[in-house]
A and B are shown apart, each in its own frame.
Chain A
Amino acid sequence: MSDKDPSLRRNAPKLALHVPEPPFRPGDAPDFSSLKIPAAGSAPRPDIAAPAAETHPLTTQLVRVLGDDSKAVGAWDPKLDPETLRKMLRDMITVRIFDDRMYRAQRQGKTSFYMKCTGEEAIAIAAQTALDREDMHFPTYRQQGLLVARGYPLTEMMNQIYSNRGDKLRGRQLPIMYSDKKFGFFSISGNLGTQFPQAVGWAMGAAIKGDSRIAMGWIGDGATAEGDFHSALTFAAVYNVPVVLAVVNNQWAISSFSGIAGAERATFAQRAVGYGIAGLRVDGNDALAVYAATKWASERARSNQGPTLIEFFTYRAEGHSTSDDPSGYRPTNEAKSWPLGDPIERLKAHLIAIGEWDDERHAAANAEADATVRAAQKESEKLGILPEQGKNGVETMFDDVYAEVPWHIAEQREQALSEGRD
């Protein structure tokens, strides 16, 4: 008698798996009307010293500040001065233009790979604006905005993208896997999820040393399924670590929608509840809400009130990377139907609504960012592009494996150099 014999339990119901499916596939008309979007200003704002449980109702709603009339409302309004708002807008514009140019550079064969953050610009820019310059980020590949907001030289970013002579990482990393210690931007790993517990570890170090700087860790919705996500939350909760942990829920992990990471059952912010830490779910296309939530969480961390898990609810408007064709798994106009709009357009409308911006200034800002990015690109390309760089400096390939080159690697370097490039 086989275990597989169905006659054995004829009257019992047949078991089946549930494999989540996104609401729309190519050819469908996207319709997000069933998405529950609370009104701007409706979410309460607990005190930063409130017990974590007081935030738990906020893990199922959405913290939103910018209303349909583009005005800022409610307890979460960070009441930013116009200068800060304009700086955020300019940075977001720069990121989008930077992405476009680098995407094109990849298509022109100047580098191997690129990833845009289109539609998610508010998240990195506003989060960094809310943090101190000295705080430490453990980012993913979609947080290039952190560097831009910190005034990182665009040429330096491009050098890393082109792996050229100016690349401080000496051609060892994929484009967009930036690293810069002085700018508080930790080396990006190709392995998803790892930044989360590493951010917790850095913040533990800061706490052990009685420092006043905090860390912010970043992860995508898909990568929350990695074990690292859960070990990060465990450690953060156990030691009450001064860390802000951000899940960027852009609905898609390459071709898998967020339901494949468990989003049908609970929001990503709700994961905080089981660990007893503070949790917030935030409209990620609302720069003011992103700012306010990050500020709240960072002050909480800074005053030893503990960690916060923030879910930034957003939408990845473009492909996952230059290697991805999203029309194969979702409707092509889905991004345009996203009910939370475009973060740049929303912040622009807000500035106009409060009389601090207009279309001319917006056009000028676009032109200026475009010129800055072009100039940086020209500068960087003088130092080479990827296809050329592979021919230079092969001997450096053997450095930095260890502090000193051990005999076996020195022998291999000799061999590589004597063999030439065949």
Chain B
Amino acid sequence: MNMIQALNDAHKVVMRADEDVVVFGEDAGYFGGVFRVTEGLQKEFGKQRAFDAPISEGGIVATAVGMAAYGIKPLIEIQFADYIYPGYDQIVSEVAKMRYRTAGEWAMPMVIRTPYGGGIFGGQTHSQSPESLFTHIAGLKVVVPSTPYDAKGLLIAAVEDPDPVIFFEPKRIYNGPFDGHHDRPVKPWSKHPASEVPEGYYTVPLGKASIVREGDAVTVLAYGTMVHVALAAVEEQGLDAEVIDLRTLVPLDIKTIEKSVEKTGRCLIAQEAPRTSGFAAELSALVQERCFYHLEAPVERVTGWDTPYPHAYEWAYFPGPKRLKRALEKVMAD
């Protein structure tokens, strides 16, 4: 299965298990979404549970708030993460704070799915990685899967979670893992071990990272698309690096990170989003606070640049394996 199919399967699993789960979003009903993640849902579950929404992200999130208050579990799609901003006020001011401001009387269990990231020549409004705008908001959980197996298990866990979850889907690896080289043909997920997706129900718990490659030389922290770039860079460099896929940014699996950095003494953080105030900055501060006496070199960050996403310069913008390799050299130098 590719990630789209895995996510589609997750929808079917949760919608069959819980008839309060309702799916909607722009083009998400009849057609099944522009990326086809919600394909077939309307056919199986009917128009009351899977439907198209007006092009109004604020309206989509706000009506989901009302539905959650009613007792329905909205699993909504924002067509591209770049368009989450018109719904941002609702997410930040309403969804995130409802449990707190009502002292638990009204919770907002909902999942807001949205494809994020670059690498598909989407220009500046189809390529952004806005996860840090959400990790900064108390009350939200933030999930970024990197494999079809995780995508399905994490989405099911997200739907079951009592708190609101922002679920970022790395669209660059919807169809196959990314080796970071745009000039090479994309390998399909079917040739990748993480594409094994079991039938039916299973979860990947929120708040647990996965060590996707064990090693002693350096810890590489990554999530989403960058997990694949990190793996490629590490292999090409021939380094005995430990690569950790965070899977969930909030809550963060700090123990796995600490343990690894204490072992390796070095840490490189990779994110696709722009550098300034990105989630990598938070990770870097945490590692510095908690593992300072184990560190043999300064923590290193590889990120997108602090510019809007440039269409024509996509590959110069995207933090690919070349940039990672240079950073690995630096972090290994001392």
Question: What is the interface of chain A, defined by CB distance below 8 A to chain B?
Answer: 136, 138, 168-170, 172-173, 177, 179-181, 186-187, 189-191, 194, 196-209, 215, 227-228, 230-232, 234-235, 238, 399-403, 406-409
Given contacts A197-B58, A401-B99, contact A191 B94 (CB under 8 A): yes
- Chain A residues near B102: list those with CB within 8 A: 169, 179, 181, 187
Q: Identify the stretch in B10-18, B32-40, B64-72, B210-218 within 8 Å (CB) of chain A at 4 or more residues.
A: B64-72
Asked if A200 and B99 make an inter-chain contact with CB atoms under 8 angstroms apart, the answer reads no
Provide the bound-state CA to CA distance between A205 and B71, in Å: 8
Q: Identify the stretch in B104-112, B235-243, B291-299, B310-318 within 8 Å (CB) of chain A at 4 or more residues.
A: B104-112
Given contacts A403-B162, A408-B252, contact A232 B62 (CB under 8 A): yes
Asked if A201 and B254 make an inter-chain contact with CB atoms under 8 angstroms apart, the answer reads no
Provide the bound-state CA to CA distance between A363 and B62, in Å: 45
Q: Identify the stretch in B48-56, B175-183, B225-233 within 8 Å (CB) of chain A at 4 or more residues.
A: B48-56
Interface centre among A177, A186, A197 (most CB of B within 10 A): A197
Provide the bound-state CA to CA distance between A227 and B58, in Å: 8
Partner of A138, one of B66, B67, B101, B107: B66
Q: Identify the stretch in B85-93, B120-128, B325-333 within 8 Å (CB) of chain A at 4 or more residues.
A: B85-93
Asked if B22 and A208 make an inter-chain contact with CB atoms under 8 angstroms apart, the answer reads yes
Smallest CB separation, B171 vs chain A (Å): 25
Asked if A198 and B99 make an inter-chain contact with CB atoms under 8 angstroms apart, the answer reads no
Please name 13 pairs of A and B residues whose Cβ atoms are closer than 8 Å in the assembled complex, sorted by A. Answer: A168-B103, A172-B101, A177-B101, A179-B106, A187-B105, A194-B89, A197-B58, A200-B66, A204-B63, A215-B66, A228-B59, A231-B54, A399-B103
Partner of A402, one of B71, B94, B139: B139
Asked if B254 and A401 make an inter-chain contact with CB atoms under 8 angstroms apart, the answer reads no
Provide the bound-state CA to CA distance between A181 and B162, in Å: 18
Asked if A208 and B62 make an inter-chain contact with CB atoms under 8 angstroms apart, the answer reads no
Interface membership of B138, Cβ < 8 A: yes
Q: Which chain A residue shows the least CB distance to B52?
A: A238
Interface membership of B163, Cβ < 8 A: yes
- Chain A residues near B250: list those with CB within 8 A: 406
Partner of B69, one of A180, A186, A231: A186
Interface membership of B205, Cβ < 8 A: no
A205-B70, A234-B56, A406-B250 known; 5 new pairs, CB 8 Å cut-off, are A136-B70, A189-B94, A198-B65, A401-B100, A408-B252
Provide the bound-state CA to CA distance between A136 and B58, in Å: 21
Asked if A202 and B66 make an inter-chain contact with CB atoms under 8 angstroms apart, the answer reads yes
- Chain B residues near A231: list those with CB within 8 A: 54, 56, 58-59, 62
Interface membership of B141, Cβ < 8 A: yes
